Amino acid sequence: MPSTTNTRTEARRQRLLSLLADGEFHSGEHLAKRLRISRGGIWKLVRTLRAMGIDIESVPRQGYRLPRAVDLLGKDELIAAMSPATQALLAQVDVMLTVDSTNRYVYQSAAATDGRAQICIAELQNAGRGRRGRSWVAPFGSGICMSVGWQFQESPPTFSALSLAVGVAAVRALRRCGATDVGLKWPNDLVWQNRKLGGILIEMRGESAGPAHVVIGIGLNMLMPSAVRLALAEQQAALIADVHEILHERTPQRNVLAAAVAEEIVAMLQIFAANGFEPFIDEWRKLDTLAHAQVKVISGTDTTVGTACGVELDGALLVDVGGQLRRFVSGEVSLRAAR
């Protein structure tokens, strides 16, 4: 259990960020009065936030500010943006300033019960994870890092295709918010104009017969700094897109988009529990950005070049290699457009 001092410090950090969220300068004296602490206390809070990776500027005789206005995440705002029907299916919701990994947090706390979801969303992750051990980078205020925990009473049909169904749910949420031309790249990427908009990471545990616990991690780029775009491109050999680039002034608040994503995932999970991937496969195929394209599949030290031919009901990718269809299974391959 966190100590009272740690809880109070965390609350002050959150309060300070809410005061700075407008991107304007605020004097140390003004901030100190609002938080009812000394100006030295404000400096200590600023120092700890900077240590977390939050860029706070300080200018003599002007005060402190964030480099730009930030749309902060909030538990009340997140829940309020969901329908009453979805709210009734929430077992636990945590909105955090910082966490090692939202997936790990949900996996370890395991608050989800059969038919009820656990949600964790964080401003910052210290050890955010992507597929195949890569890190997931999302600077403060730049994206959505969220995990949804769920328990199936028993393993659904075509369980191995769950990540593909999550992709369909995420695209539906983005469409609700105005982004109508987002596609999917097998096995777990959301893309726009051939650039990566987001990613999905699923972890699970359970017996072969009995309840199955899953944690669905999803990261979406909302407004990525140009320097971070370059770093990610170098790290992942992929160009980055973000929601603001797609929607500009129509970009929704992060709480609104995160609520839409959570709502669509929870709705999908209820259908998936009974019917597996079948109700989603036709929609996934329409969103498939690799359909009929020449692709290069990398598995370990093996490289296969062929034509992508969509997916099967279990989520496997089909590739035509010299007239012969070959199957590739999620988690064992990486996919690149052929050169």
Report the catalytic residues: 131, 196, 336
Tell me if 19 sits within 8 A of 34, measured CB to CB: yes
Rounded CA separation 272/280 (Å):
9
* Gap between the terminal Cα atoms of the chain: 53
Provide the b/e sequence for 180-197 (b: ≥16 CB within 10 Å): eebbbbbbbbbbbeebbb
Tell me if 146 sits within 8 A of 215, measured CB to CB: no
Please report the sign of the dihedral spanned by the C-alpha atoms of residue 94, residue 126, residue 225, residue 31.
positive
Tell me if 201 sits within 8 A of 217, measured CB to CB: yes
Other C-beta atoms closer than 10 Å to the C-beta of 114 total: 12
Angle of helix 278-287 versus helix 254-275 axis, rounded to 10:
130
Read off the DSSP letter of residue 316: P
Give the tokens for residue 224: 């990525």
Rounded CA separation 75/66 (Å):
22
Q: Of 270, 280, 192, 201, whose CA–CA distance to 238 is shortest?
A: 192
